[in-house]
Homo-oligomer: A and B are copies of this chain.
Amino acid sequence: MTPARSRRPGAPTRTERGIPEATVARLPVYLRALTALSDSGIATASSEDLATAAGVNSAKLRKDLSYLGSYGTRGVGYDVEYLRYQIAREIGVTQDWAVVIVGIGNLGHALANYSGFGTRGFRIVALLDADPALIGEQIGDMVVRDFAELEEIVAADRVSIGVITTPAGPAQEVCDRLVAAGVTSILNFAPVVLSVPDGVDIRKVDLSIELQILAYHEQRKSGEAALPEVPELPAINGLPGLPSVGGGVGA
């Protein structure tokens, strides 16, 4: 069944700027570690030092860095400033990216007040909400604007990244509007699966999921044999009396 491909089966897709996704997800961590070292006045660091600071093992770190090029010096280590710049360039945060936040409720307010974006390559250009009671509110040095202005803002400021902090209900609709306006990367905090066309990247942050993963392991720790026993094969329809369980979809 093996179709005759040119690429050897075992060979990694390495070249042509193809950095493995798992590595991409760690580069920002390395970047932060390098910035911390730099701020401490450390000019050179070995892969072991860096790995400790980033919380990974050193072989993995070296392999990750090797995808970017050969930026270390054998017997010495890595020049902190130089490597920091190379990683920043690879990620694309040597320039600032314009970001819009949609849904200025609890979470949107927290993000709007957060000062950590500017120093990490992002610039919030607009806070948008559909609630007339919120529009016009001042948050830091920004003002909440009408979601209807979205297209205009995206075009004017070349916005390519959107953050969704609306309730789950309107999230897909908001997402569609963002995509239609030209946004091609979305960070979603609403607890729904959003669908987007090819070419649009989406990442989600879901606090409840994180807690549930912790709960799973926690249960494993405490009650190793304390799992409640439950009927394995009930009648297929009509199961009265099952306890109400977590996992809701409300906003």
Contact = CB atoms under 8 A, between A and B. Distances in A.
Q: Which of the four size classes fits the interface of chain A?
A: 35 or more
Interface string A7-37: 0000000000100000011011101111110
Contacts of A97: 211, 215, 218
Nearest to A228: B89
A191 B187 CA distance: 18
A111 interface: yes
A92 interface: yes
Identify which of A35, A205, A236 gathers the most chain B CB atoms within 10 Å of its CB: A236
Q: For A86, A90, A193, A249, which residue has the most chain B Cβ atoms within 10 angstroms? A: A249
A106 B116 contact: no
Contacts of A152: none
Given A55-B195, A107-B110, A203-B210, A237 B79 contact: yes
Nearest to A158: B222
B207 A205 contact: yes
A214 interface: yes
A245 B55 contact: no
B247 A208 contact: no
